[in-house]
Amino acid sequence: MRAPLRSPSGPRADGHHQVLFVFAECVPFAIALLVLLVEFTPLHVLYTGPLLVATPALAAVTMGPRGTLAAAGVAAAVSVATATYNQAWGSQQVYTNFLALFLVSVASFLTSRTARTRRENELNQVRRIATAAQEVLLRPVPDRLGPVRAASMYLAAETGAQIGGDLYDVVQTRYGVRMIVGDVRGKGLPAVRATAIVLGAFREAVHYEDDLVEVIDHCGAALRRDAVASGATGGDDALLLEGFVTALVAQIPDGPYVEVINRGHPPPLLLHNGTVRSLMPGVPLPPLGLEEFINGPPGRTDRYSFAPGDRLLLYTDGVIEARDGDSTFFDLAAAMVTLRDHTRASFLKGLHQALIRHTRNRLADDVAVVLVDRCEDEEHGAAP
């Protein structure tokens, strides 16, 4: 259950690009306005025909087929108005201008439509590649794993994107069901690369390390190795600070409890008898990649009650930091209570719709959610 949404990236770069793009779209119509000013003033002695002929070609560069037709229509209307005002009908020059405008308009429209078709085909190919990459990185969560049933949801905030900087996985091991949820600082390909590194390290260590601390330390070590290989050595604090990942690893054994090690990530929510509480860490720890800020022991797991019938929600900060038009944050705990009687699929669908309503379909960050129910009957489980 995933949906590509939109998010702003680099405000300075995007803002500058947007201004230039809008300026380029206005150029053909500015030329048409300039021709009107020339023809309806004493400056009409200037020959403006070639300027109007150029407007469809300029529109084809930035405005697509419909914009090209609009620019051609405006140019034709201006030509008719100026020819009527100057009483130039019947002259060879007027008909030559109209013929040139028609030929350039047709050529510009066909060129613009061909370019748009080519771009759409390329975008579809990129999306297919992104979907394949998503299936490798963010694998579907199995419905039943030992004593629990699980489901997941990922919403990429970037337009047309399938994967971003959020990560999750749920794996059944000999130690119990182990899960990870994380959030990579930054966006784009570097974030996807960090996602692949952390998930790869987790999937390797989760089957061999009996201690959750060792599992998450393995993920941090993988990030540091990649930073060194990429040239971000320990002496460059700026690069280190930009390369961190908040992460949370949880383990659900056969007993009625859950163990959690949290490295700077939003705490999971536990729904028990209609009441939601945050599973706050006993000792706050910095994110992966910032191990130099750990003072004393490397940390330990925290244990919380997780009885049959309870519901556990792991998520990234894109959920709780989603804002409405008044900059009010999304109340995830309240939403969890509201949807407490829903099945897992219905819960995630309702949460998705609530986020869309709250943000007016303008998520500013990626969203990853893992929902886990402790089965009432460990043999048959709860109804999906």
Mean pLDDT of 112-122: 87
Query: Residue 117: in which H helix or E strand, if any?
Result: helix 92-137
Mean pLDDT of 251-277: 93
**Encoded tokens for 339:** 């949807």
**Rounded to an integer, what distance in angstroms lies between the CA atom of residue 47 and that of residue 35?**
9
CA nearest neighbour of 314 among 259, 378, 376, 267 = 267
Looking at per-residue pLDDT, the higher value among 31 and 18 belongs to 31
Q: Tell me, what amino acid is at 256? A: P
Residue 173: its pLDDT value, please?
A: 92
- Name which residue leads in pLDDT, 42 or 35: 35
Give the CA angle between residues 68, 160, 163 to the nearest 5°: 160
Q: Residue 374 is encoded by which pair of tokens?
A: 């402790």
pLDDT on residue 380: 43
Q: Say yes or no to pLDDT of 294 above 80.
A: no
Reading the block at residue 377, the tokens are: 């009957």
Mean pLDDT of 316-337: 90
pLDDT number for residue 6: 35
Q: Alpha carbon 213 to chain centroid distance? A: 30
Long-range CB contacts for residues 291-294, cutoff 8 Å, separation at least 24: 291/220, 291/224, 292/240
Residue 276 has pLDDT above 90, yes or no: yes
Identity of the residue numbered 226: D
Residue type, 383: A
Residue 199 is given by DSSP the state: H
Q: What are phi and psi of 87, to 5 degrees?
A: 55, 50
Are 226 and 201 contacting, i.e. CB atoms less than 8 angstroms apart? no
Q: What is the largest CA-CA distance in the chain?
A: 95
Rounded Cα distance, 109 and 65, in Å = 5
According to the model, what pLDDT value does residue 354 have? 93
Q: Which amino acid is at 351?
A: L
User: Is the per-residue pLDDT at 10 higher than 60?
Assistant: no
Interior CA angle at 242 toward 238 and 247, to 5°?
Answer: 140
Determine what percent of the chain is predicted with pLDDT higher than 90. 32
The tokens for 134 are 């998503």
The mean of the pLDDT values for the chain is: 81
Q: How confident is the model over 153-201, as pLDDT tens digits?
A: 988 766 555 556 788 999 999 999 999 999 988 776 777 888 889 999 9
Determine the length of the chain.
384
For residues 236 and 155, which has the higher predicted lDDT (pLDDT)?
155
For 5, the token pair is: 């949404």
